Structure 1
Amino acid sequence: MRDSNRQWIFAERPEEEPDMDSFELREGDLPEPRHGELLVRVRYLSVDPYMRGRMRDAESYAEPWSVGDPMQGAVVGEVVESESDAYDAGDLVSGNGTWADYTVLDADNVAPVDPSVADLPAYLGVLGMPGRTAYFGLLEVGDPSPGETVVVSGAAGAVGSVVGQIAKFNGCRVVGFAGSDEKVSWLTDDLGFDAAINYKAVDDYRAALDDAAPDGVDVYFDNVGGPITDAVFTKLNLDARVAVCGQIAHYNDEGVPTGPRKLPQLIAPRAKVQGLLVGDYATRFGQASEQLGSWVASGDLEHRETVVDGLENAPDAFLGLFSGDNIGKQVVGVSEP
Structure 2
Amino acid sequence: MKAYLILEDGNVFTGVSIGAMKEVISEIVFNTSMTGYLEVLTDPSYAGQAVVMTYPLIGNYGVCYEDMESYKAWPDGFIVREISRRASNFRSEDSIETFLKNQNISGIAGIDTRALTKILREKGTMNGMITSNENYNLDEVINKLKEYSPKEVVQKVTCKEKIEYKPEKFIKKVALIDLGTKNNIAKSLVKRGCAVTVYPAATKAEEIIGEKPDGIMLSNGPGDPKECSDIIKEIKKLYDSDIPIFAICLGHQLMALANGGDTHKLKYGHRGANHPVKNLKNNRVYLSSQNHGFVVTEGSIDKQIAEPSFVNVNDGTIEGLHYLGKNIFTVQFHPEACPGPQDSEFLFDEFIHMMEVSK
**Shorter-chain TM-score tier:** 0.3 to 0.5
TM-score, normalised on structure 1? 0.35
TM-score, normalised on structure 2? 0.33
Higher relative contact order (CA 8 A, sep 6+): 1
In terms of fraction of residues, the more helix-rich structure is 1
